[in-house]
Amino acid sequence: QVQLVESGGGLVQAGGSLRLTCAASGRSFSTYAMGWFCQAPGKEREFVAAISWGGARTDVADSVKGRFTISRDNAKNTVSLQMNSLQPEDTAVYYCAAKTGTLSTTWSSYNYWGLGTQVTVSS
């Protein structure tokens, strides 16, 4: 089992940057694929980015491609989401998630979730 805690959210102006970090505790973090998802009020949870257990493979949603980058540090049990050129439509709660096996863009395939961190982008 793994516990996940997100940090790094906040209020930023359009065009600004934030770096979200997810700290994992528990066993065998390096065996889990990790993902970031977001959920805005009144909307469904959406895929943002995912990374394989070793970091060799990543996937990023088309809406954030070229602006967001996912990375992980298995020695520190962390996964990060670098968010650049933020826009008001990026405003949402961002969740970190972990799953066994290969990375996935489907939120229902993830086994473990953090409580989320709020990202608000003002225009």
Amino acid 27: pLDDT: 76
10-residue mean pLDDT profile of the chain (123 residues): values are: 96 98 90 97 96 96 97 96 98 97 96 97 96
Rg (CA), the chain: 13
Q: What is the pLDDT of residue 11?
A: 98
> Phi and psi of 67, rounded to 5°?
-115, -35
The pLDDT tens digits of the residues spanning 27-57 come to 789 899 999 999 999 999 999 999 999 999 9
State residue 101's pLDDT score: 92
What residues form DSSP beta bridges with 13? 122
